[in-house]
Structure 1
Amino acid sequence: MVHETMMPVNGIHVCVETFGEPNEAPLLLLAGDASSMDWWDDEFCRRLAAGDRFVIRYDQRDTGRSTSYPAGAPSYCAADLLHDAVGVLDALDVPAAHLVGFSHGGVLAQRLAVHHPSRVLSLTLISTSADGATPPTPPVAAGGPVAVSAGTVTAGVRTVEAPPATDETDWSDRKAAVARMIDEIRAGGGPFTADEPHLRRLAERVFDRSADLAATRLNHRLTGYGPTVRDLLGGITVPTVVLHGTLDRRFPAGHPEDLARCIPGARLVWLDGVGHESPPRAVWDQVLREILTPAA
């Protein structure tokens, strides 16, 4: 059973969609920064639900159908994005859930496990880094628009810079916005990245569901990550698996290796031929197995 609804969460409205039956083990999907829930493939969600899970995905504020703010003037901070995730669980009367986070969603998952340990049953951290921190080794150079590093770490706090002024994409123009999203996915992907027709359908869906893509793209960067919790990751006790593409250029190999060392008992599993992208269909069997195993 699939159900989408708008829910009041922390004084805003959040679009939430669930797959499966509420009496199954809850599993919360956390998308990357500036990403609506659409980036979690519908069929992928259905297959998770078929594994006896109550799957929850949602549009973070400033994405999709959830509350949007003026571009460049978000009246919220990184902590609010964390509280929204907890608020979604509260709205659904879910005391604790298995968390699956991609990229910035993986950072949110880490913070939930640190600040709200009773709400977390297991962690699956995909294409992410230890608290979004500077890598333990210098990052490799990478081309394409998604390869730009957003910010630095100063005194334990991530300082996030606005996108470069050279980004002249008109995010209100459907054709231009869709083309840009397709280019970014391809630049960050690998040989298993979906074909152009599939990417176009996805990008068009994202555009059509978004209140203001310009705000989406800018505001999450401006909120940053907040004070680091890196030194607290050693206190995480739930089963944790780190999934990382061998072709991920945004977070090279040092990132997942470091993350797996920070969390006691964490397993690092490589996804061969995968870039910095939502898990492509070619590795779904492997990814689904890893997500569902610690949750069993």
Structure 2
Amino acid sequence: MAERMVPVGDATLCVDTLGNPGDPAILLIAGAASSMDFWEPEFCAALAEAGRFVIRYDHRDTGRSTSYPTGQPGYTGVELTTDALGVLDGLGVDRAHFVGVSGGGGISQETAVMHPDRVASITLIATSPALARPDGAAPLPPPAERIQALFGAEQPATDWTDRAAAIDRVVSDLATFGGSATLSPAEARVLVERSYDRTTDFAASQTNHWILDNGPASDKTMADIAAPTLVLHGTEDPMFPLPHGEALAREIPGARLVPVPGAGHEHPPRQAWPIVVPAIIAHTGGQ
């Protein structure tokens, strides 16, 4: 893939592309605290081989993008959202199909209502409604107990500067978030090692996204999303259980839900690619 550094606002983001720039563009948006490495090269290649121009990038504080002091992010959630458009601007791409996991799915929803001319479609993976829901909508189920414990105060601190300890912790966390079709421990370790070694400040990458000021709430609603929407949701997602995906499909006009058996709260694991890749290709067939 072709990696480059792209100025975006007051930051510089590391961006990777694969495929023909004349093909329909797919912008892959990783989840919080995740570098672009979580979009595996083979996954990107499968999309590019189907005639898509694939773009992935490191969020601020991840990978090779601009890093800020641990505990002092010099940006808000608003910048994380507008960075997606900055990446497209830096590549000269007017319009793209947004594919976002977890927090990346929130960015996709927000961009679809704020800048509909830039968004050809959205694919929402392992995420939840990010905008106001209909009046009277039923509450959505909370994270599983194992996820609540992971974020609890009793969780022991990790020395993120200790490569071995940091990698062990993230590999363990990935297993906690995963389902029965998740990455194997060996696959997860290779991925996390690559991410750790590419990241300027791993402590900042594992801290700053969780303490961001998200800025003012949007006045838009789920019903305001007009972009064609595909929802890919793991049947074993412990962070946002399947009813979150069902709510997305129900509350976004015309959205379609494709359950992903065995997948948890994660970037699409290899076992899910036979479902996920064809679904994305079919959904992004036009500009």
Distance in structure 1 (CA, Å) of the matches to 2:186 and 2:179:
16
Distance in structure 1 (CA, Å) of the matches to 2:113 and 2:146:
34
Distance in structure 1 (CA, Å) of the matches to 2:128 and 2:187:
28
Partner in structure 2 of residue 85 of structure 1: 84
The answer (yes or no) to whether the contact 2:131–2:220 under 8 Å persists in 1 is no
Opposite residue 123 of structure 1, the aligned amino acid is I
Distance in structure 2 (CA, Å) of the matches to 1:132 and 1:122:
17
Residue among 191, 194, 208 paired with 2:197: 208
Q: Show CA shifts across 1:252-286 (max 9, x none).
A: 12211212222100011110111111111111021
Query: Is 1:221 aligned with 2:210?
Result: yes
Any gaps of 5 or more consecutive residues in structure 2? none
Distance in structure 2 (CA, Å) of the matches to 1:26 and 1:142:
38
Which 10-residue stretch deviates more, 256-265 or 16-25?
256-265
Q: Secondary structure, in 3 states, of the residue corresponding to 1:198?
A: helix
The runs of at least 4 aligned residues of structure 1 exceeding 2 Å deviation read 132-135, 144-148, 163-167, 224-233
Please state how far the C-alpha of 1:202 moved relative to its aligned partner: 0.9
Q: Secondary structure, in 3 states, of the residue corresponding to 1:277?
A: coil
Query: Is 1:142 aligned with 2:131?
Result: no
- C-alpha distance 195-141 of structure 1, shift in aligned 2 (>3 A): closer
The answer (yes or no) to whether the contact 2:147–2:238 under 8 Å persists in 1 is no
1:107-118 superposed matches below 5 A: 107-118=106-117
TM-score (norm 2): 0.92
The answer (yes or no) to whether the contact 1:131–1:228 under 8 Å persists in 2 is no
TM-score (norm 1): 0.90
Paired residues, what number? 281
- C-alpha distance 4-180 of structure 1, shift in aligned 2 (>3 A): same
- C-alpha distance 89-286 of structure 1, shift in aligned 2 (>3 A): same
Residue among 268, 272, 284 paired with 2:261: 272
Which 10-residue stretch deviates more, 286-295 or 129-138?
129-138
Identity value in percent: 48
Aligned-residue CA RMSD (Å): 1.9
Q: Secondary structure, in 3 states, of the residue corresponding to 1:81?
A: helix
1:1-296 superposed matches below 5 A: 2-131=1-130, 136-139=139-142, 141-143=144-146, 148=151, 164=153, 166-229=155-218, 231-296=220-285
Distance in structure 2 (CA, Å) of the matches to 1:24 and 1:51:
10
Please state how far the C-alpha of 1:231 moved relative to its aligned partner: 4.3
Q: Show CA shifts across 1:225-247 (max 9, x none).
A: 44444742212222101110110
- C-alpha distance 198-133 of structure 1, shift in aligned 2 (>3 A): farther
Distance in structure 1 (CA, Å) of the matches to 2:10 and 2:144:
41
- C-alpha distance 18-146 of structure 1, shift in aligned 2 (>3 A): farther
Q: Secondary structure, in 3 states, of the residue corresponding to 1:169?
A: coil
Opposite residue 259 of structure 1, the aligned amino acid is L
- C-alpha distance 116-167 of structure 1, shift in aligned 2 (>3 A): farther
